[in-house]
Structure 1
Amino acid sequence: MTEVKIRLQQTDQVKKLVDFLTPCPYEVNLVSGRYTIDAKSLLGIYSLDLSNPLTLVIYSDDCDGLLRQLRALLPDCLVP
């Protein structure tokens, strides 16, 4: 399991994230406080409070390539 902090401030960022994660072969969730939703669900993401950073949880230990592609696709979204 890998966790990354992410901030989604624009609707196009949310759509890009969902489009990017949909073909992903393993489960990916977004966590905001006590709420956990499927990161491949557009409606689920919009149900979260997007004013705060979210935790992207990738249920795979071998996801370095996925994270590199995500950084290239959404460079302003990942929180250091």
Structure 2
Amino acid sequence: MEEIKIRLTTAEEVREFVRAARKCEFDVDISYGRAVVDGKSIMGIFALGLEHLLTVNCHGENPEFRQSIGKFAQEA
């Protein structure tokens, strides 16, 4: 399982992330603290809040997905 730290700051970035995640055949989870939501859910991501550094857990490998979300990646 791969773990990536990201920051999504606008509604358009959330939509872009979800579009990329929905192309994956595996689960993509996003967490902040103890809360974990489905990375393919726009409402779930908004529930975590855009002001936080989020952790993405990919339960599979997809180089295209990794490349698409690379611009959101942050150093922990």
TM-score of the two chains, using structure 1 as the length reference: 0.84
| CA offsets 1:11-69 (integer angstroms, 9 cap, x no match) | 10000001111121000000010000000001111111221100000012x34443123
* Aligned alpha-carbon RMSD (Å): 1.3
Aligned residues: 75
Name the SS of the counterpart of 1:50 in structure 2.
Answer: coil
Could you say which residue in structure 2 is the equivalent of 1:78? Answer: 73
Does the CA contact (< 8 Å) of 2:6 and 2:54 recur in 1? Answer: yes
Aligned-partner Cα distance in 1 for 2:68–2:49: 25
Does the CA contact (< 8 Å) of 2:24 and 2:62 recur in 1? Answer: no
Aligned-partner Cα distance in 1 for 2:62–2:22: 15
Name stretches of at least 5 consecutive residues in structure 2 with no aligned partner: none
1:67 aligns with 2:66: yes
Q: Choose 32-41 or 48-57, whichever is displaced more.
A: 48-57
- Greater than 4 Å deviation, 4+ residue runs: none
Could you say which residue in structure 1 is the equivalent of 2:8? Answer: 8
1:65/1:23 CA distance change after superposition, 3 Å: closer
Name the SS of the counterpart of 2:51 in structure 1.
Answer: coil
Looking at secondary structure, tell me which structure has more helix per residue: 2
Name stretches of at least 5 consecutive residues in structure 1 with no aligned partner: none
